[in-house]
Amino acid sequence: MTAGYGPGYGQGYGPGYAAMPAPQPARKGFDILGLIAVIIAMVGLVPTLFVFLIGLIPEMNAIWWLLVALIPMLGIGGALVLLLAIIGLIVGITRKRRYGLSITGIVLGLMMLVPIGLLSFSSTL
């Protein structure tokens, strides 16, 4: 015994003390729409980057025809990525949750639409 206090003093036991559970940390939800948007963007951007880098090799110039198939895929995928990422951003802001992947998805979606914009608005047409 110390200083006349009984056992359990200050520990939350005995009469007058309610057993209180430890406070749980606030759990933030995961940005699933942003993750899906980033995955779709990577599926669209990695083959395009691959074709572009291989096309820089002089002996492999014939690979540029693959961009004919990849450009429409970039347009459709970019629009889908932007849609998912913007919805994820809105949901994340309104529910006060994480939305970093949604912002990344928006950036990647815009990167997917840049080649189409360059083809559409270039002065060489």
Residue 31 CA: distances (Å) to CA of 68, 86, 122: 33, 12, 36
| Tens of each residue's pLDDT in the chain, 125 residues | 555 555 555 555 556 555 566 677 766 778 899 999 999 999 999 998 888 888 888 888 777 788 888 889 999 999 999 999 999 999 999 998 989 999 999 999 999 999 888 888 877 65
Q: What is the pTM (predicted TM-score) of this model?
A: 0.71
Residue whose structure tokens are 């940005």: 31
Report d(CA 84, CA 38) in Å as an integer: 9
